[in-house]
Amino acid sequence: MSKVRELSFDDRARWGSCPVCQAEDGEFCYAEIGIQLGIKVDGSRMKTGEGAHLARLNAAPNRVHEVKYD
């Protein structure tokens, strides 16, 4: 049985490798390369190293199906 889950900004910011800075899957984007997004919903800035390039966010899915494997 699968369950659909919305991905958070943090999930999408670390999804796959970044086409701009080549950050690996699971890592945040490298701030020294290009302009990255890093403003939280409440308007505060994220800590250094917790942003993402727009190209990576656009490539990441908004929802995923979670499937239990035995």
Give 27-64 as a DSSP string: SPPPTTSS--B-B-TTSPBPPTT--B-HHHHHHS-SEE
How far apart, in whole angstroms, are the C-alpha atoms of residue 16 and residue 21?
Answer: 12
**What confidence score (pLDDT) does residue 41 get?**
54
**What confidence score (pLDDT) does residue 32 get?**
73
Q: How confident is the model at residue 43 (pLDDT cuts 50, 70, 90)?
A: low
Q: Which tokens go with 23? A: 């950050």
How far apart, in whole angstroms, are the C-alpha atoms of residue 22 and residue 19?
Answer: 6
Q: Which tokens go with 69? A: 């494997």
